[in-house]
Chains A and B, each alone.
Chain A
Amino acid sequence: MTDLDVFQKETRAWLEENCPAEMRTPIRGDEDMCWGGRNYKFSSPAQKQWLETMAAKGWTVPTWPKEYGGGGLSKVEAKVLAKEMHKIGARSPLSSFGIWMLGPALLKFGNEAQKLEHLPPIARGEIRWCQGYSEPGAGSDLAALATKCEDKGDHFLVNGQKVWTSYADQADWIFCLVRTDFNAKKHEGISFVLFDMETKGVEARPIKLISGKSPFCETFFEDVKVSKDNLVGELNKGWTIAKYLLTHEREMIGGQGEGVARPLHEIAAGLLGLEDGKLPEPMLRAKIAEAEIDAWVFGQTIHRKLEEAKAGASLGADSSMLKYYGTELNKRRYELMMDASGHEGLEWESERSNGGKTARDWLRTKGNSIEGGTSEVQLNIISKHILQLPGA
């Protein structure tokens, strides 16, 4: 038996003993995801227990070093853990921008004190983070951001506004791009700072979306004092961190369409029934077949790109390709779901429609190809960095 076999066996036994039965059922929606944070209300005792047990083991962030609250696992071991969790249908113990986005950036660019201060609370789900990137005047052109950060001797003073700050109203801290030099070229005057959302002068206002939900906020900063210890990396070098983090975000958004989703044809057959073993609408049937083929091919492409990265290649601009295709595919999927749902899919409040779930989810997917850099921006990145077309 290899070491990995032993690890697999022990992991399986440990999960069997420690994962509560309630945490082995499929996630039905946002309300079943555990986000953690100072003011978080657990949806059940099992959810709390699962988070605490996994965090104690370092397995909310299996590959992070142990001194920062991680499990210290190798990539291969982490894959085994993920597989074993998948086998028993175990839910992820913690959903967190701290894990997905800030953590990797801090591990790469943060100093030792910052890592020790911020990473363990992220791993334990005690501090919930939000991302301060976009501004009203800096969407696709993110580097045009204008939130001002002035050096006041012993501290920074931040003034400005962010928008599309995911769950800012529920977050404890923010990682934020600010302008520290207004005279430099736009990419060279940006810094990456962290501060507490309870600091005086910070205000988050939820934005009501077309889905009727409000996962995003406008966030205002008025004379917000930020400790100089909370500058990550060098002053005016924040764009490098921003790009690194965006790459992570793209991989995450791009990967959402993959794998776990129920096949479209099953959903459609459930809604419309079958006639002579076929979906009753031949044109819709063809489009569903096409979308399912594309979903499989996309899944294979993610696997291939990750395998290549393991073999020493960097994902780099290919993350833009995955983000572009994955989000467009997910939009197509929900258009077809709406087609198959017909009249009932249009109901917005009824119990029959589970409060308009399909329609609201469909509307939500429209943001997939906008957030994290629009499809058009991803195509620009491919043109420039992969195809190297002139002037791109």
Chain B
Amino acid sequence: MALVLNEDEKMLQESAEGFFADKAPVKALRALRDNQDETGFDRTLWKDMADMGFAGVMIDEDHGGVDMGCMAAGLIAVEMGKNLTASPFISSAVLSATAISKAGNESQKALYLPKIAAGETLIAFAIDEGRKHAPSKIELTAERAGNGFKLNGSKAMVIDGHVADQLIVAAKTGEGKTTLFLVDPKASGLETERTIMVDSRNAARFEFDNVEVNADAVLGEIDEAESVIEAVLNVGRAVISAEMYGASAQAFKITTDYIRERKQFGTEIGRFQALQHRSSHLYTELELAKSAVLASLSALDTGDLKASDYVKMTKAKVGQVAKLAGVEGVQMHGGVGMTDEYDIGLYLKRIRVTQELFGDTHFHMEALAKAAGY
């Protein structure tokens, strides 16, 4: 595995760094929130991201993408994390693009992938249903009806689902059998509830009441979606870990900047060993988180046989480190850390959401222990 960036990756990282700091800093998120923006992200920004190639990072060149892979997607996500940038990058460009690339037939690829890469079509990935991430316990059913299927059940925490042009829906098609469907959110019998989250980003809940789809809505093999879902989720887990690392690193940076300046007892509070040692510990944990993120992204790109384990370890570890970065960040800011005016609270909130997405630390610890046979 390559844990140090090569020249191409360094260039991409630097261009993403400049792009997000310039076009989508934290104050952009504040504006979206305070203006109660209907979309929840800036469509102009998303178009600019597509022009940069970011929306097509996971899509091959034949379908209008730049085909740069997971490491590239992760490097972009780190910079989005630092700036708390809101965009449909994870939902459409990472999860759905990966699902269609891996499972789609040629006409589905030709229909959707170029539009995702161009930022013209937003496809959301609908997997979770209950309070917690549980991809092996899908209860939404798809029963054969006429020439197609009828879907019944519900989905929750569908990122960017409220403005999606299409949904990829995981449905139970038999005992232990799962199938993916492409569903139009405007289909009859499908109700959407926008759920604004603690981090001012958006997801949606869906109720499916006899929603009919044609046979050509099936994405991939009927009954055989489990391994595709796991592969898509692993890419999502690695990339969201990268974003989570970026948010944590920036939370740490603004916190150390703060304790260097803030004076109490006649001196900068950063002089106190109580804060220095906690800062140094957090620095250490963040360096570990960074290693895990790079190792996972690299392993996914090279098709390492252990990539799935690495991704789970990474999501588990980075979740813990990010939590520490958020919690310590607020504590070291003291009273102002509790105010909306200071950015540290926004980081704490985004970190909490990324911790939960696609399985939290406990979920992945359990999965790892089971897989290792203990």
Contacts and interface: CB of A to CB of B under 8 A. Distances in A.
Interface of A: 263, 265, 268-269, 274, 277-279, 285-286, 288-290, 292-294, 296-298, 300-301, 303-304, 307-308, 311, 318, 321, 324-325, 376, 378-380, 382-383, 386-387, 389-392
B271 interface: yes
Contacts of B121: none
Contact of A382 (B268, B280, B288, B374): B280
Given A307-B3, A380-B277, 5 more contacts: A269-B374, A293-B316, A318-B287, A389-B256, A391-B267
A383 B276 contact: yes
Nearest to A269: B374
Contacts of B292: 296-297, 300
B291 A321 contact: no
B283 interface: yes
B317 interface: yes
B136 interface: no
Contact of A321 (B1, B287, B362, B372): B287
A260 B82 CA distance: 36
Contacts of B283: 321, 382, 386-387
A392 B275 CA distance: 11
B366 to A, nearest CB: 8
27 contacts: A263-B372, A265-B372, A265-B374, A269-B374, A286-B362, A286-B369, A289-B368, A290-B316, A292-B372, A293-B316, A294-B317, A297-B291, A297-B317, A300-B295, A301-B287, A304-B3, A307-B2, A321-B283, A321-B284, A325-B284, A325-B288, A387-B283, A389-B256, A389-B275, A389-B279, A392-B271, A392-B276
A378 B4 CA distance: 25
A382 B284 CA distance: 9
Q: How large is the interface on B (under 10, 10 to 19, 20 to 34, 35 or more residues)?
A: 35 or more
B277 A376 contact: yes
Given A265-B374, A286-B365, A390 B268 contact: yes
A300 B3 contact: yes
B126 interface: no
The 9 closest A-B pairs by CB, nearest first: A382-B280, A304-B3, A391-B271, A383-B276, A301-B291, A300-B291, A379-B280, A289-B365, A265-B374
Contact of B280 (A293, A294, A387): A387
Contact of A304 (B4, B365, B368): B4
A325 B284 CA distance: 7
Nearest to A268: B374
A383 B279 contact: yes
A301 B288 contact: yes
B284 A389 contact: no
A389 B260 contact: yes
A292 B2 CA distance: 22
A323 B154 CA distance: 50
Contacts of A268: 374
Contacts of A286: 362, 365, 369
B359 interface: no
A387 B316 contact: no
Residue of A265, A297, A325 ringed by the most chain B CB atoms within 10 A: A297
Contacts of A296: 292, 310, 313
B277 A390 contact: no
Nearest to B271: A391
A136 to B, nearest CB: 24
A298 B277 contact: no
Interface in B246-290: 256, 259-260, 267-268, 270-271, 273, 275-277, 279-281, 283-284, 287-290
A296 B317 CA distance: 10
B294 interface: yes
A376 B274 CA distance: 11
Residue of A293, A376, A382 ringed by the most chain B CB atoms within 10 A: A293
Residue of B256, B283, B362 ringed by the most chain A CB atoms within 10 A: B283
Contacts of B4: 304, 307-308, 311
A142 B136 CA distance: 57
A285 B369 contact: yes
B257 to A, nearest CB: 11
B286 to A, nearest CB: 10
